Amino acid sequence: MGPVVLASQLAAGIGVIAGAMIVKNAMEHTGMNPMSTWDRPRCATCNGTGRVTCLCSRWSDGDTGCRTCSGSGRMACRSCGGSGTGRPLPVQISVRNNRPPPYS
């Protein structure tokens, strides 16, 4: 190996290490944490990917898939709608007062 090839490989390696350090620093400063970015936790069903195994792959006999997954074998998660984050559930709580009114 010539000195020019060795120098170019060394420069490429240093560039990769420097790039990794820049990305790590940016992620720490901007908060690329799923909880801080969206203020919502990751979906428990798809683990934040937004995709789950398609039902067609369970009964597949080697064909190309269905329209839902377009042959990829993965479809949008039904729990989060493909967003990867948990969705708040709309809940209505009704409270009854079973106590008699106080005597005056």
What share of the chain in percent tops pLDDT 70? Answer: 73
Residue with tokens 């106590």: 99
Q: Output 17 or 25, whichever has higher pLDDT.
A: 17
Using CA atoms of 41, 47, 50, 54 in order, give the dihedral in degrees to the nearest 10: -150
Note the pTM of the prediction, 2 decimals: 0.41
**pLDDT in the model for residue 61:** 63
The average confidence (pLDDT) of the chain is 76
**Is the pLDDT reported for residue 57 higher than 80?**
no
Query: If pLDDT is split at 50, 70 and 90, which confidence band does 60 have?
Result: low
> Among 24, 47, 41, 35, which Cα is nearest to 89's?
41
Please calculate the CA angle 89-91-45 and round it to the nearest 5 degrees: 25
